[in-house]
Amino acid sequence: MEKELTPVITIGLNINNQDFDYSMEELKNLVAANNMKNIETVTQKLDHPDGRAYFGKGKIEFLAQLVETTGAEVIVANDELSPSQIRNMEASTGATVIDRTGLILEIFANRAQTREAKLQVQMAKLKYQLPRLRTSASQRLDQQSAGGGLANRGSGETKIELNRRTIEHQIDHVRRELKEIDKSYETQSKRRKENKIPTVALVGYTNAGKSTIMNQMVAKFGENDEKQVFVKNMLFATLDTSVRDLHLPDNKQFLLSDTVGFVSKLPHQLVQAFKSTLAEAAGADLLIQVIDYSDPDQQLMMQTTEETLKEIGVPDLPMIKVFNKADLAGANYPAREGDNLIISALDPKSIDLLTDVITEKLFKNYVTKTFLIPFDKGEVVSTFNSKFDVKATDYTEAGTKLTVELPEPDAKRYEKYLV
């Protein structure tokens, strides 16, 4: 039997924001991703949020009536609210109030699977809770995880301060644990660089199809197809960065990583907490920005992705823009215009095109040379056959003649055998 969805009212302030409708639609998708059901939406145009309760007095009274008539249990606001705004709105409406930041934190808390993701979410959640010890939003976040007991359930300043110290102590503890994980990441990254294996990172808006592309590439070029990543038509279906080792038929090799998806107004606490996870993108040789071509708000999604990459300190790296879901958009695919591709991730020819462009970008320093290897240097022939793409082999009286595509530094290493 399916769990009954919590009925919620979504609310938002339009302060001369041309992207307001898109932002509200996205809020409804986030609500759905958190196993809630949006039953009503209330908006208001104001020059600025009301300092006391976000909405103006008349709208708050209307909201209270709506809560009573609909039976809504939760109100979800499209902006980050102050502790007093949450407290006052709850007192006026009788419903639990969650702001956009709190909602995204709940989703992340429910989806985190690995120890690292859980710690990262816990760090963001604790930082969010600190100024909100009196509000039910922080209590609600607390109850989402096994580490309950932090929200203020008593009264008086002593209890507040005790909770504050408890949270600060936990933040220090989580920070230390994350530093240990960071060291492990640094070691792995260093090892990859030493092995000179190029890296490609999939980045982009949540639910644009990054994980589907990852799985198609793994199925075709991975060592086995058991390392598939989770895919679901839902915002933030996956939080953990997955890295897979791909081997192309011509012996070229690269690492492909699938990073956590972005969303507009992604809470600063989460961006900071997930910096180590997103470091896969910062350290990549090539970025693939995946865009939902069927979404009318694709330009806003691209803008959000690029702003988030800037915020996490990703340098100006080479990038391919992949406009995915072309089948849903009714567009011709696969197609290429410069570094922009139009594809459908489930189409084999689209994956072939993407692979060709990745190869073109990653392996620019490859050259094709002809070598004559003496018969007593069989180990060199074996190396060429196992590591590089041997285009032609000919046996002569002087030795084995090979035409090979390989990185320029390797060509120089074997230059004494050049014909």
Q: How many CB atoms lie within 10 A of CB 203?
A: 27
| pLDDT score at 181 | 76
Query: In the chain, what are the domains?
Result: 6-98 (3.40.50.11060), 117-181 (no CATH), 197-362 (3.40.50.300), 366-417 (3.30.70.240)
Give the confidence band of 67 by pLDDT, cuts at 50, 70, 90. Answer: very high
pLDDT band at 227 (very low <50, low <70, confident <90, very high): low
Q: Which of 283-287, 296-300, 401-405 has the highest mean pLDDT?
A: 401-405
At residue 147, the pLDDT reads: 42
pLDDT > 90: percent of the chain: 46
Confidence of residue 191 (pLDDT cuts 50, 70, 90): low
Q: Which is more confidently placed, 236 or 374? A: 374
φ/ψ of residue 324, rounded to 5: -90, 170
- Is the pLDDT assigned to residue 155 strictly greater than 50? no
pLDDT for residue 117: 76
Which residue has better confidence, 246 or 264? Answer: 246
Q: What is the mean pLDDT of the chain?
A: 84
Q: What's residue 257's pLDDT?
A: 87
What pLDDT score was predicted for residue 149?
A: 37
For 96-137, write each residue's pLDDT tens digit.
Answer: 999 999 998 888 888 777 787 788 888 888 888 887 765 444
More confident residue, 107 or 85: 85
- Structure confidence by residue, pLDDT tens digits, 313-360: 777 889 999 999 999 999 999 999 999 999 999 999 999 999 999 999
What is the per-residue pLDDT for 157?
52
Note the pLDDT of residue 283. 79
